[in-house]
Amino acid sequence: MKTLLVGLDAACANVLDPLFEEGALPNLRQIFEDGKHGPLESQIPPWTASAWPSMYTGTNPGKHGVFDFLSFDGYEWDLVNASHVRRRTIWEYLDEAGYTSAVVNVPVTAPPRPFDGALIPGYLAPEHPECHPKGLLDDVREELGDYRVYAPRETDESQSDAAKFESYLDLTQSRGQALRYLDERFDPDFGFVQFQKTDAVFHDFPGDDEKVRAIYEVVDDQLRAILDECEPDTVIVASDHGMGPYSGHEFRINEYLKGSGDVVTTRDGDSVPSWFQLKDQKLVGDEETTHPAIARAAAFAAKFGLTYQRGKSILEAFGLADFVGRHVPVSAVFAASERVDRANSRAYLRSPSELGIRMNVAGRDPKGEIPSAEYDRAREELMTRLREIETPEGEPLFESVTPREEYIYGPYADEAVDILCVPREFEHSLSSLIGDTWEEPEPYNHKRDGIAAVSGEGADVAELRDATIFDVAPTVLASMGVAPDETMDGQSFVPGPDQEAYPEFDPGDRATTDDTAVEERLADLGYLE
């Protein structure tokens, strides 16, 4: 193998340094010590579904077209998939240069496009995804056992945290095993393996340092085995973003915008998927068994101010929230909840991990509320108001409130939010829910600075300084003597050929994602509210 790229979701110095000092990760530490390493600045927004395509295309979301876990067409949504990535990937550039690749568990890679090599999709793929070549998943499972994209979801309700975590360890181990199997079978020049549970462990077991260490120890063991069997000339380690505690607030920005008249709410119709909607069938069975009187009662209660948001806090106070969640159809409770009426609102947060506000513009959006001639003025006026928001302690909520083009530019930028709202020091989070304006944030969540390291023959670099997530793809190509694309937004860490112009790329037709199980897993991690 010429180059190995190891993707560590959410890895950063704050996570790795204590483990290195404890001697827990000798193989990963050796790569850092033998080569060069440093912070790797992520994109805005620094969330998995958009950041990994930025890493493996070398371009910002405005060029590759994935901005979030969800893709929007007007006011309709779909889960993103590989067909939404409208740029060449690292392995497609290498294919054109005559190289073979093996790719394991990388997010947003299903359904795969054909290339010389093999690909087993990762996060956002269905549990039984189409692989490349076709039939590969059956071969992998025959060789390795029950290879899965996700941990068994039934552990959430029917087994202990210990059993759930054991499945996380098994998944992490299987990623390394799968890459070694593909290496033996396909003899790739480039290998790319991604470890996802280094992120999920913080969401699912916040503050549990022992579980974090255990996940990374499995990663380190698998890394040793990969290095021994694949013998790569160059090793690159990169993360999509960092991770750390959130000590601030969750800001329900749609509630704020409702107060200013920008957001109109409804209790009818479709909305961006909610945790409470997605959990419904899992908790109480077939929707058809729901007694209509329950829904009517919930709607009647809402008229007197007993909405879902208030009812949940009351139930929690009496220790009944879990009981109701198991025995009362959640859709009945949700029937009483307010949510954003996107078609009739002027501006709103579509999805928290977009990290910004979408404006409803005439001529662009199906039922645009803002005349296109007034767009610039309306956006500037809204940005001014957002910049003035303070936390309950009287401190600025946002580090910056900017037009999207400061971070997102390219042929697909118009599909993104119009205003990006970057929380101060990423100590605060945004929520799309309607209800109390301020809530407690998730204990751990994403930070902007990840980490990168390069070691081996390709590590001829003085130091890693001012590196960004967009630099990873050109670095991989340069390490293999392939010219990076001149339209990439990053620069190689290592010496190599000058950038070149590539022919226009045809990504093929869009595919839809029809997999409720994937939505449920996103909801489990808090990415869908």
Q: What is the DSSP string of 7-32?
A: EETT--HHHHHHHHHTT--HHHHHHH
Predicted confidence band at 419 (pLDDT cuts at 50, 70, 90)? very high
Instruction: Tell me the mean pLDDT in the region 42-64.
Output: 97
Res. 122: pLDDT tops 90: yes
Which residue is listed with tokens 């662009």?
Answer: 364
Q: What is the pTM of this model?
A: 0.88
- Look over the chain and give the mean of its residue pLDDT values, rounded to a whole number: 87
Two structure tokens written together for 366: 């199906």
Q: What share of the chain is helix, strand, coil (3-state, %, to 5)?
A: 40, 20, 40
Q: Which CATH class is domain 3-246+445-496?
A: alpha beta
Res. 498: pLDDT tops 60: yes
In the chain, what percentage of residues exceed pLDDT 70?
82
- Domain locations along the chain: 3-246+445-496, 250-267+340-439, 275-337
Give CB contacts under 8 A, 24+ apart, made by 387-391.
389/251, 389/256, 391/248, 391/249, 391/428, 391/438
In the chain, what percentage of residues exceed pLDDT 90?
73
Q: Where are the beta strands (DSSP E) in 275-434?
A: 339-340, 347-348, 356-359, 398-403, 419-423, 429-431
pLDDT at 307: 47
> Under DSSP, is residue 94 helix (H, G, I), strand (E, B) or coil?
helix
Q: Give the model confidence (pLDDT) of 292-318 as tens digits.
A: 444 455 455 544 444 444 555 545 555
Predicted confidence band at 59 (pLDDT cuts at 50, 70, 90)? very high
Predicted confidence band at 154 (pLDDT cuts at 50, 70, 90)? low
Q: Give the model confidence (pLDDT) of 269-296 as tens digits.
A: 555 444 333 333 333 334 444 444 444 5
Widest CA span in the chain = 70
Which residue is listed with tokens 């996380």?
Answer: 168
Res. 177: pLDDT tops 90: yes
pLDDT at 516: 58
> Under DSSP, is residue 133 helix (H, G, I), strand (E, B) or coil?
coil
pLDDT at 288: 41
Instruction: Tell me the mean pLDDT in the region 384-392.
Output: 98
Question: Using alpha carbons only, what angle is made at residue 383 by residues 378 and 389, rounded to the nearest 5 degrees?
Answer: 135
